[in-house]
Chains A and B, each alone.
Chain A
Amino acid sequence: MATYCFIIILTAPLVALAGVLLLRRPRIAEYLNLLASIAVFAAAVPLPFLVQTPLFFWHDYLFMDAFGCWVALCTAVVYLLASIYAVGYMRLLNEDKKLPGFYALFAGFAWSMLFAAFVNNAGVFWIAIELTTLVSTFLVGFEREAESMEAAWKYIIVVSAGISIALLGTVLFYWCGSLVLGPSYAMTWQTLAQAAPHLNPMLLKLAFLLVLAGYGTKVGLAPMHTWLPDAHSEGPAPVSAMLSGALLNTAMLGIGRYLAITNAAGIGWLPRTALVVLGILSVFVGTFFIVRQEGVKRLMAYSSVEHMGILALGFGFGGVLGIAGALYHMLNHSLNKSLMFFGAGNVMRRYGTKEMPAIRRVLREFPVSGLLWLAGAVAITGAPPFGLFLSEFTILRAGFSGPNLWAAVVMLVLLIIIFIGFLNHFRGMYFDKRPETVPQGATISAWGVVPMWLAVIPLLILGLWWPHGLTQIFGGIARMLTGAVS
């Protein structure tokens, strides 16, 4: 059963990609991609519940474990929502000729992220992450304005340079292992974790820090986040949602896997502290750019920096609570950030601008979806009764019971500032009266509103009720990451 799901997840996007490229018809491309995303979603939902012990495929190069399945589930959720949204949004751009290319890249991007979640080899994982960059660069630069090209250029240069640090770290990990395991071995996560207690701790620490800096660039942890606001604000809205809701999690998965190795080696203190420091720095940077932000999509982008910081804090605080909170946060953030980018995309199309001071009286334009967007804004700042409140609260509890109490206190203060700053922008957009111009932009079809409902309802449910089955899954992942059983 799990094997069939696995096959569906890794083939559906490829089939869609091939179909889109062969037929080259914009309408068919939309629906092919949508079908693929539905198939992937249907296959990914049961996976975390089905996979108790890891399953291996293709000479151990691919595998399914609970952690990978969870990240794949988050990716699948965003892929589905973004594919629905893309149908309506991309039609508004009036560039039907370029649509097949867009959907081919879109499906390819989704595939590369799903693939990365199931890779069982540190080197191939690096390649998978590099692949996500290559594909998404062209999605970021899709609109071919001067700004999108600038964003795409910065994205590929900054991220490739960052990822090359991760390659250095990977090479050092391999070298470290080769001193124990012999010159040639398969660099699977399991081999490394089993050999970890015998590896040289100093080299291991150096290698981990390099990997953290490298994949941290891709996660968007400050101070390596500089590509993120540009890429997220200049790509089309569905692409922004995919970048923020899915790609960042996938890169975080890599850091988590290496964290498991250092924990197994018994040198977990330095890596965890490094994660906590980077996490606090990211939340800090996110806070201050959120407070004085003018661009509506850049606001969402800096909020992603903040939430990736919170994820890093969750993994850094460690323990079952911290890791469970971080994993829960991944799903909540994926749902919520998709919702926010969809709302931002709708508003941008209607008002014809990205600048928040020019966006006023949103509720008059969007009586229903405006309310959903507002609910999303309340949710993303971590207010109850939405999912992010629960996950942030769990991470904070982990922080208060751990050795990094200072970080938990700083995080709490910054979260309060973000709450005020973020909602102040929304107060302006919703209730300020000043410029009374009537927007001339496009009308948003149901394609642009349905995915917002599909995001906000689970978000509310996850905030009110922590599903019992998840506790077990998170417990299993936490045991794996903290090195109790590998």
Chain B
Amino acid sequence: MLAAHLDPLAASIFSLIAITSMLLSFVMLGSRWLKDYMYAFGIQSWLIALLSALVGYYGHYPELYLIAIFTVLFRGLLLPYLVLRILRRLHVERELHLVVQPSTSLIIGAICVIFALVVAFRISVAIGFPENIVVLALTVMFTMKLVGFLMLSVRHEAISQILGLMLLENGIFLGSQILIPGMPMLIELVVLFDLLVAVACFGVLVRYLLARVGSTSSLELRRLIG
């Protein structure tokens, strides 16, 4: 495993990127402005692309450069552009109906981090790789997963839900590039597929707006119950 024999400089850079990405997901959690979500997501995607390139360099996986380029193109540029365009068209700037205040959701997020850390630590001990970078990669992967689900459940604007979904997958990318850089073919395909999901989401969204002009809040989606 690459993470088991990594030189200290690379390990610290990886850790820095992982921790920054995790903090960016807290930026998404703590803000109620949709544009903030979008910028945080964009920066996070660029960081992950940088991480792929670095892992490719240190671990001698040339395919990862290609994946870095894909990540930047799709998740770093195209998706934020699409989101911005939709934001402009919808005139939605912020979450209007907050189920949970940002401060409260930050605290719940912090609890998620602690939980993720405990799980990650136990796993890394069980498999006999208690290196910091392994624990950190697992922690960040689980945290972003949990925070993504938190965003999906406490935010109601359609845009936040799409970004929450993307956040779920960013976490997996980040973790998998540190833990299993040897799985490139799959990741590559998944990157492409994510874009398709996003495009499909937007397609549904736009059609939905055609059917019921006005609100994009999922609080309005309450016809089908029981």
Contacts and interface: CB of A to CB of B under 8 A. Distances in A.
B205 interface: yes
Contact of B180 (A149, A156, A174, A294): A174
B126 A203 contact: yes
B224 interface: yes
Interface string B89-111: 00000000000000000000000
Contacts of A179: 1, 127
Contact of A289 (B1, B189, B203, B226): B226
A181 to B, nearest CB: 10
Contacts of B211: 144-146, 149
Given A141-B204, A147-B223, A123 B123 contact: no
Residue picked from A131, A134, A203, most chain B C-beta under 10 Å:
A134
Given A130-B193, A138-B203, A200-B126, A174 B183 contact: yes
A160 B197 contact: yes
A432 interface: no
Contacts of A281: none
Interface residues of A, number: 52
Given A144-B207, A161-B152, A154 B221 contact: yes
Interface stretch (B16-24, B66-74, B165-173): B165-173
B226 A293 contact: yes
Given A164-B172, A179-B127, A289-B226, A156 B218 contact: no
Contact of B126 (A145, A187, A202, A234): A202
B208 A157 contact: no
Contact of A164 (B126, B169, B179, B203): B169
Contacts of B9: none
A161 B149 contact: yes
A232 B55 CA distance: 44
B161 interface: yes
A171 B172 contact: yes
A146 B223 contact: yes
Interface in A371-429: none
A41 to B, nearest CB: 29
Contacts of B180: 171, 174-175, 178, 183
Q: 5 closest pairs, A vs B, by CB?
A: A183-B182, A184-B182, A123-B186, A149-B208, A164-B168
Interface of A: 123-124, 126-127, 130-131, 133-134, 137-138, 141, 144-147, 149-154, 156-157, 160-161, 164-165, 167-168, 171, 174-175, 178-179, 182-185, 187, 200, 202-203, 206, 229-230, 233-234, 289, 292-294, 298
27 contacts: A123-B183, A123-B186, A123-B190, A127-B190, A127-B193, A134-B200, A138-B204, A141-B204, A141-B207, A146-B211, A150-B208, A150-B221, A151-B224, A152-B208, A153-B158, A154-B224, A156-B201, A160-B201, A167-B190, A171-B175, A174-B176, A178-B180, A185-B182, A187-B183, A187-B186, A200-B126, A203-B123
